[in-house]
Amino acid sequence: MSMTGELSNHSVAKAYAQWARFAPIYDLVFGPALSQGRKDSIAAAERVGGRILDVGVGTGISLKDYSSRNRIVGVDYSEPMLRKAQARVKEHQLKHVEALAVMDGTRLGFPDGAFDAVVAQYVITTVPDPEGTLDEFARVTRPGGEIILVNHLGAERGLRRDFERSFAPVARKLGWQPEFPWARLEQWAARNGCVRVIERRSMPPLGHFSLIRFERLTTAKRPQMADAVAG
């Protein structure tokens, strides 16, 4: 169970079951406004290529953007959301989608190194155990593969930080943590020892989101921040 004030599996499932009831609104909210982050994370995964795991696939709005030359597996904690994704795969005949499954990110039902890349779009701040989820991402990514996140990261100072902290109780009811700091990802990478950060860059809208790429190392060691990482 997460510490007091953070998300729980029950609250996440409840929030996203409500979102699924209004799928067109969900797709509008998470569609055009966040499209650049989705496209850039997919482009990063396709530079790796092969078998790609999309965690938190939701209603499947990203599935059409993947190239047919890759194999995509999508998982989501919300069964109502996944039903929308399954309907989308059928409607658009997305043959590159290998499978869709209801799954908890902290207990992925795949063997070690099963994927060339793992993509998580706007996910890591919506799970009760971000570090445990990231550990699973690292486990199922092959050495030399990549974990690609695109997500809102909390401001470290100023009025935006104050707003995010005051808005946090409302945001949790909607299924996410707006004050999630970059430092947690840095600390996770150092503790895990099997990954290193190879890119961090700001994304629209207004630079409030970030694309972060981790390389899965061949051997475990304390990672060093890559020169490509931006502050």
The pLDDT of residue 4: 34
- Residues 188-193: contacts with CB under 8 Å, at least 24 apart: 188/130, 188/131, 188/134, 188/135, 189/214, 189/223, 190/222, 190/223, 191/131, 192/134, 192/135, 192/138, 193/217, 193/220, 193/221, 193/222, 193/223
pTM beyond 0.95: no
**Distance from chain centroid for Cα 20:** 18
- Measured at the CA of 187, the angle between CA 186 and CA 191, to 5 degrees, comes to 120
The pLDDT of residue 23: 52
The pLDDT of residue 136: 98
Q: What is the pLDDT along the chain (231 residues), one digit of tens a residue?
A: 233 345 445 544 554 455 445 455 556 566 666 789 999 999 999 999 999 999 999 899 999 999 999 999 999 988 888 999 999 999 999 999 999 999 999 999 999 999 999 999 989 988 889 999 999 999 999 999 999 999 888 655 555 454 445 544 444 444 445 558 899 999 999 999 999 999 999 988 767 789 999 999 987 764 444 444 444
Place of tokens 């919300």: 78
Question: All domains of the chain, ordered by start, with CATH?
Answer: 9-216 (3.40.50.150)
The pLDDT of residue 5: 43
